[in-house]
Amino acid sequence: MVYWIAPLVVLGLVVFVHELGHFLAAKAFGVYAPRFSLGWGKPLVRWRRPGAETEYVISMLPIGGYVRMASRNDETASMLEGGNESVKEGAERDPRWDPEAMVPHGPKPVPADRWFESKPTYARVVILLAGVTMNAVLTIFVATGIFAVYGRQDAPTVIDTLVAGKPAERGGVQRGDSVISVDGVPVRTWTQLVAKVGADTGREVRLEIARGSERLTIAVQPEVVDVTDPSSGKVSRVGKIGAGSLGPDHVGNRTVRSSMSAGESIAAGWHATWQMGGSVIGVLGGLFRGTVSVKALGGPIAIARTSVAAARTGLESLFTLIAFLSINLAVLNLLPVPILDGGQVLITVAEGVKGSSFSDRTRENFMRVGLVAIGALFLIVMFNDIRGLVVSLFG
């Protein structure tokens, strides 16, 4: 059961939140939105409350979703999404046909002021960026929740490396020692140890050490060094003793968790979101520079396998994957590809600067370029997915 539920939960939530952003923004600006769909292609399940404007749909291909809006490009867009419901002769016999509803649910025309193109440029840009914004908010929310529930994961205060000639080695600290306290103040995590030693500049500190069954007190004089914050460029003076913690490959089950306040969790969630977004941008940059191979890209199968693995590991891993995929979707949708949100924003802004809309032929050419780009990417990731699946099954 986990093979089906985990991928659907992960992909479904990330896509739903993205499309919900577009939908809510469209509604806020008065744009008519006749359909909200999870998935592309032929509808499998559809529901519309009598008298309501929007039909809610689950479609055949669970690799995305869309919000259909009233637009002069409605025919092209709906065909791409698999939801072309142009009113045809005999449509009144459809049980879903509503004689009081607007197209495509009924015969009434959509008022001109409810078309997407009728809204000012800033409103259209907000609608187009609302999905990306919601994905970023989801990532911050989930990351914050992870820190609030599970706390901060940190290395224990076990000395793993010593720099020759530095204060720790000179004072008699040995590899494998566990630091219990600094100047009588208990420390449980490596972060706490670094913060306490770093704050003690210009004076000697007393480390309480656990060495096997022994308890020792070692006096160490930290060296004062200048450290530059990479994000702010601020230079601060901190104390260093020349000792390193257990690396991630050696910590294993000795990882220490510390609880975090609401404020600390929010700050950590915000920081983690920026870090994940930065890593996605780094991969994209590496692809363009040729330093990252396209073989590293994964598609729906890879996401499904990762979702299952994360679900089996625990809820923390599953929610971490949701946060990472959500910020992935946000960053990728900002790419200047015509069929993506970023490309649509560029076209909308260009039309605003131009003072008029591009011709249908020009827009169609833009869409073709976007379709070719997305199609090529889809083929690459599916090839990688199938190759990875074959290797995992047959070695």
Q: How far apart are CA 305 and CA 387, in angstroms?
A: 13
Return the pLDDT at 232.
Answer: 56
Taking the CA of residue 191 as centre, how many other CA atoms within 13 Å lie in the half-sphere pointing to its CB?
8
Strand partners, 217: 208
Closest CA to 18 of 36, 44, 35: 36
Task: Judge whether residue 76 has pLDDT over 60.
Answer: no
Task: Judge whether residue 220 has pLDDT over 90.
Answer: yes
Tokens, residue 214: 């022994």
Return the pLDDT at 73.
Answer: 65
Helices 121-150, 2-28: inter-axial angle, 10-degree rounding: 140
Question: Which parts of the chain are beta strand (E)?
Answer: 35-47, 55-68, 152-154, 161-162, 178-182, 185-186, 205-211, 214-220, 223-228, 235-240, 243-244, 256-258
Return the pLDDT at 133.
Answer: 98
Q: pLDDT tens for residues 226-252?
A: 877 655 567 788 899 999 987 655 544
Per-residue confidence at 90, pLDDT binned at 50, 70, 90? very low
Q: How far apart are CA 235 and CA 188, in angstroms?
A: 27
Return the pLDDT at 92.
Answer: 44
Over residues 26-43, the mean pLDDT reads 93
Return the pLDDT at 9.
Answer: 83
Mean pLDDT of the chain: 85
Give the range among 8-22, 73-87, 304-318 with minimum mean pLDDT: 73-87
Return the pLDDT at 82.
Answer: 43
Task: Judge whether residue 328 has pLDDT over 80.
Answer: yes
Return the pLDDT at 219.
Answer: 93
Neighbours of 24 (CB within 10 A): 16
Over residues 315-319, the mean pLDDT reads 90
In degrees, to the nearest 5, what angle opens at C-alpha 162 toward C-alphas 199 and 275? 60
